[in-house]
């Protein structure tokens, strides 16, 4: 009886939520979330940063350590501060003239564990900031009660949106129970836009048609690597597809640091039929033709999927696994967990195939057998990464939708149009990995792939503001078309948008105004004061493809 009574008390304690109050809540300790939390705290706001996993830094500490950036002067602020911490680590650990310091390329290449250390250093320096890991947001509350969730609205701009609401609190669960946390402003820094959808922001997931926003590269499309022109078969039709995911895992050849590749229990040789066909045809003769290797400080290598090269047409398939991720953005924890296992087993299964399958040439097998997972990374997961590279999740409907047309040139200047509320710069190519699995009738191409250069253009503050939801900014799952998102989705840009969101949230809290009504010029001045970049105009040379 005493045991039963104690159990009932424990259950009741879990069900009755504690209530807390703060100024700013940030959900998701991605690089954008860290930047948002730090920026808000430095602005004087009391901040709580919530993270579902036991790690900080999202995909960057999960293996994406080869930074996607072209024009380094187009991103500043906390991203530069992060890079300085990386450089300081390698200078202190290996010496000012060391090969490791040179290999980090001024803080743009690094080990996952070093990136995580740098993010923790940023958080630890802010007394106004409280970081809670291992917690999951389960409810969003408006001023009238439970918030009405947002609806998926794909295609062109809809005529109707979910009724106006204001986010005033979230409930999160932890090992200690439930907590209802009130705040003046919230920031959703998750890759999927989970809080935004839960709180009432309408969103889209799939691809718009070519006609929806008059985008050249929208919809179903076939483009050869290194080109920008749609090929026959490109219909421009809308669908529910998003670009492929993969893991950005790390490998080592150092025997003393190596954990072996294992055959997954659900290994299916049929998953790799197109890669095996490349081998049978004599097109794929080296390991480096199947996957990409990037040398990192510390002796390990970051691994990425590869696209079919225009000279060889291989690899037809690599580490990207298209189509099976299309449900990820809206999936719940159980389904995401299943997909996570499926994607990892596909990745490790490909490595095992290259090491052991009798049809793989001996030279490739011997090369592949040298590699294994590093003992000194992801030490809580047997050298395997803890984060799947979610290249695209939900995208909210905001006050401005970033599209491919934002990069188009204004005839009078020969440059993209300036935005009066510009808060960050998109400078990387419009870069989409394949959306569909490889089709043999389109050799050397994966449907959905494109890589289109453009001049840097401004991302407006309006793209972070949900159409009918107050109290929330969304710097990662922001308002963009499928094509437009492909230049925003780089982690330095996410950090810039996160930093701007944190400053804006603190400003709204201090002035007691809605996030959509803050003094945007004051926000811009503060971004610049902190070394951020809101405009980058270097050349009027027109990139190919626009």
Q: What is the DSSP string of 451-506?
A: EE----EEEEGGGGSBSSEESEE-SSS-SB-HHHHHHH-SHHHHHHHHHHHHHHHH
How large a percentage of the chain has pLDDT more than 70? 96
Contact (CB, 8 A) for 403 and 215: yes
pLDDT given at position 404: 98
pLDDT band at 6 (very low <50, low <70, confident <90, very high): very low
Cα(72)–Cα(245) distance, integer angstroms: 26
Question: Tens of pLDDT along 331-347?
Answer: 999 999 999 999 999 99
Asked if the model's pLDDT at residue 542 lies above 60, the reply is no
Q: Which residue has the tokens 């129970």?
A: 177
Q: Which residue has the tokens 């590269």?
A: 217
Cα(467)–Cα(242) distance, integer angstroms: 23
Catalogue all structural domains in the chain, each as residue range(s) with its CATH number.
19-206+392-418+452-529 (3.50.50.60), 250-374 (no CATH)
pLDDT band at 243 (very low <50, low <70, confident <90, very high): very high
Contact (CB, 8 A) for 63 and 250: yes
Average pLDDT over residues 361-366: 98
pLDDT given at position 339: 98
Cα(235)–Cα(229) distance, integer angstroms: 13
Q: For the chain, what is the largest distance between any 2 Cα atoms, rounded to a whole number of angstroms?
A: 82
Three-state SS at 415: strand
DSSP letters spanning 349-400: HHHHHHHH-TTS-HHHHHHHHT-BEETTSSTTTTT--S--B-----EE-BSS
pLDDT band at 544 (very low <50, low <70, confident <90, very high): low
Average pLDDT over residues 134-148: 97
Average pLDDT over residues 516-530: 98
Asked if the model's pLDDT at residue 9 lies above 60, the reply is no
Q: In the sheet where 301-304 sits, what is the strand order?
A: 250-251, 301-304, 292-295
Question: Tens of pLDDT along 410-462?
Answer: 999 999 999 999 999 999 999 999 999 999 999 999 999 999 999 999 999 99
Q: How many residues does the structure list for the chain? A: 546
Beta bridge partners of 415: 410
Cα(169)–Cα(95) distance, integer angstroms: 48
Q: What angle do CA 123, 111, 323 make, to 5 degrees?
A: 95
Contact (CB, 8 A) for 101 and 17: no
Asked if the model's pLDDT at residue 10 lies above 60, the reply is no
DSSP letters spanning 79-125: HHHHHHHHHHHHHHHH-TT-HHHHHTTTTTB--HHHHHHHHHHHHHT
Cα(430)–Cα(80) distance, integer angstroms: 23
Cα(506)–Cα(502) distance, integer angstroms: 6
pLDDT band at 292 (very low <50, low <70, confident <90, very high): very high
pLDDT given at position 8: 43
Cα(238)–Cα(241) distance, integer angstroms: 8
Cα(260)–Cα(251) distance, integer angstroms: 10
- The region of weakest confidence among 6-15, 106-115, 502-511 is 6-15
Average pLDDT over residues 219-240: 97
Asked if the model's pLDDT at residue 12 lies above 50, the reply is no
pLDDT given at position 3: 44
CA dihedral 326, 332, 333, 337 (to 10 degrees): -30
Question: Tens of pLDDT along 247-285?
Answer: 999 999 999 999 999 999 999 999 999 999 999 999 999
Average pLDDT over residues 65-85: 97
- Both structure tokens of 483: 């094509």
Half-sphere exposure of 277 (CA within 13 A, CB side): 16
Q: Residue 512's Cα: distance from chain center in Å? A: 31
- Residue 169 φ/ψ, nearest 5 degrees: -160, 160
Asked if the model's pLDDT at residue 5 lies above 80, the reply is no
- Both structure tokens of 258: 């190596």
pLDDT given at position 421: 98
Instruction: Report which DSSP code applies to 209.
Output: P
């Amino acid at each position: 009886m005493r045991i039963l009574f104690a159990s009932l008390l424990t259950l009741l304690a879990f069900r009755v939520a504690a209530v807390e109050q703060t100024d700013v809540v940030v959900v998701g300790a991605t690089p954008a979330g860290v930047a948002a939390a730090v920026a808000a705290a430095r602005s004087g706001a009391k901040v709580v940063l919530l993270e579902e996993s036991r790690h900080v830094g999202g995909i960057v500490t999960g293996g994406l350590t080869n930074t996607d950036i072209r024009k380094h002067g187009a991103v500043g602020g906390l991203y530069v501060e992060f890079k300085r911490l990386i450089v300081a680590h390698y200078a202190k650990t290996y010496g000012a003239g060391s090969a490791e310091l040179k290999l980090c390329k001024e803080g743009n290449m690094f080990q996952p564990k070093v990136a995580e250390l740098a993010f923790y250093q940023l958080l630890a320096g802010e007394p106004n900031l409280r970081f809670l890991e291992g917690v999951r947001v389960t409810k969003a509350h408006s001023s009238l009660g439970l918030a009405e969730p947002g609806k998926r609205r794909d295609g062109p701009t809809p005529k109707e949106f979910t009724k106006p609401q204001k986010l005033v609190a979230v409930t999160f669960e932890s090992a200690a129970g439930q907590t209802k946390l009130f705040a003046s402003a919230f920031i959703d820094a998750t890759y999927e836009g989970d809080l935004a959808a839960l709180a009432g922001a309408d969103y889209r997931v799939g691809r718009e048609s070519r006609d929806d926003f008059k985008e050249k590269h929208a919809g179903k499309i076939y483009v050869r690597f290194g080109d920008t022109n749609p090929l026959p078969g490109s219909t421009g039709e809308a669908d529910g597809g998003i670009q492929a995911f993969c893991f950005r895992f790390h490998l080592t050849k150092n025997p003393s640091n190596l954990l072996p590749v294992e055959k997954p229990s659900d290994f299916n040789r049929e998953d790799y039929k197109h890669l095996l066909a490349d081998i049978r045809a004599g097109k794929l003769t080296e390991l480096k033709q199947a996957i990409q290797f990037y040398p990192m400080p510390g002796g390990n290598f970051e691994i990425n999927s590869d696209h079919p090269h225009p000279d060889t047409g291989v690899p037809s398939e690599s580490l990207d696994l298209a189509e099976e991720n299309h449900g990820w953005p809206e999936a719940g924890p159980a389904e995401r967990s299943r997909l996570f296992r499926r994607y990892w087993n596909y990745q490790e299964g490909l490595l095992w195939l290259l090491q052991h399958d009798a049809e793989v040439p001996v030279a490739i097998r011997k090369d592949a057998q040298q590699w294994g997972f590093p003992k000194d990374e992801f030490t809580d997961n047997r050298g395997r990464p803890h984060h799947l590279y979610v290249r695209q999740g939900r995208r909210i409907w905001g006050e401005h939708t970033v599209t491919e047309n934002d990069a188009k040139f204004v005839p009078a200047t020969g440059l993209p149009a300036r935005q009066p509320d510009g808060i960050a710069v998109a400078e990387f190519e419009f870069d989409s990995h394949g959306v569909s699995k490889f089709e043999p009738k389109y050799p050397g191409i994966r449907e959905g792939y494109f890589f289109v250069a453009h001049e840097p253009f401004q991302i407006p503050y309006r793209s972070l503001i949900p159409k009918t939801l107050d109290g929330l900014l969304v710097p990662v799952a922001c308002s963009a078309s499928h094509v437009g998102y492909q230049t925003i989705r780089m982690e330095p840009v996410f950090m810039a948008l996160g930093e701007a969101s944190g400053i804006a949230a603190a400003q709204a809290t201090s002035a007691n105004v809605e996030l959509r009504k803050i003094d945007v010029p004051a926000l811009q001045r503060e971004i610049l004061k902190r070394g951020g970049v809101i405009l980058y105009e270097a050349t009027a040379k027109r990139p190919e493809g626009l």
